Amino acid sequence: MLNIKEVEVDTEKEEITIREVLNIAEKKIGKPFLYKMLNKDGEIMRGTIILINGRNILHINKLDSVVHNKDIVSLFPPGGGG
């Protein structure tokens, strides 16, 4: 989506929400991308995949899901195939 494979998000907190992580990452990258993943109400768009250590946040606590230090967050824009 951004031609960026990895970005590290540094924080002083032990745990932060995925919403905060995404906002920090967007600032750090300096290129807006959240508009492609979240709708105007700030909810996750259909088909967007956000994983914390391979678990989809829709089954954790959506954008309030908690991310711990060293967790891996994966972001995928809507994609499909067969």
Partner 1 sequence: MGVSIKDNKLLRINLTANKIVVESIDLDLVKKYLGGRGLASKIFVDEVSPDVDPYSEENKLLFANGLLSGTTAPTGGRYMVITKGPLTGTIASSNSGGFFGAELRKAGYLIVLIEGKSDKPVYISIRDDEVEIKDATYLWGKDTHFTTDKMLEEFGDKHARVSCIGPAGENLVKFAAIINDKGRAAGRTGVGAVMGSKKLKGIIVRGTKTIEFDDKAKFMDVVKTKIDILRKDAITGEGLPKLGTKVLDNIINQNGLYPTKNFQFGTFESVDEVSGEALVEKKYLQTNKACFACPIGCGRVVTLPDGSDGEGPEYETGWAFGADCGVKDLVAITKANFMCNQLGLDTISTGSTIASLMELYEKGYVPKEDLNNSTEPKFGSSEAIIYYTKAIAYREGLGDKLAEGSYRFTESYGHPEFSMTVKKQEIPAYDPRGAQGHALEYATSNRGACHVRGYMISPEILGVPEKLETQKLEGKAGWVKTFQDLTAVIDSAGLCLFTSFALGADDYRELINAATGFNLTTEETMQIGERIWNLERIFNLKAGIKPEDDTLPKRFLNDPMPDGPQKGAVVHLDKLLPEYYKVRGWTNDGHVPENKVKELDI
Q: State the residues that interact with partner 1 by CB under 8 A.
A: 5, 45-49, 51, 53-56, 58-59, 74, 76-82
Cβ neighbours of residue 40 under 8 Å, at least 6 residues apart?
none
Shortest Cβ 36–partner 1 spacing (Å): 8
Nearest to 58 by CA among 71, 67, 68, 49: 49
One-letter amino acid for residue 61 of the chain: N
Specify the residue, 12 or 54, whose C-beta has the smaller distance to partner 1.
Answer: 54
What does the alpha-carbon distance between residue 28 and residue 5 come to, in Å, rounded to a whole number? Answer: 14
Specify the residue, 27 or 55, whose C-beta has the smaller distance to partner 1.
Answer: 55
Specify the residue, 12 or 59, whose C-beta has the smaller distance to partner 1.
Answer: 59
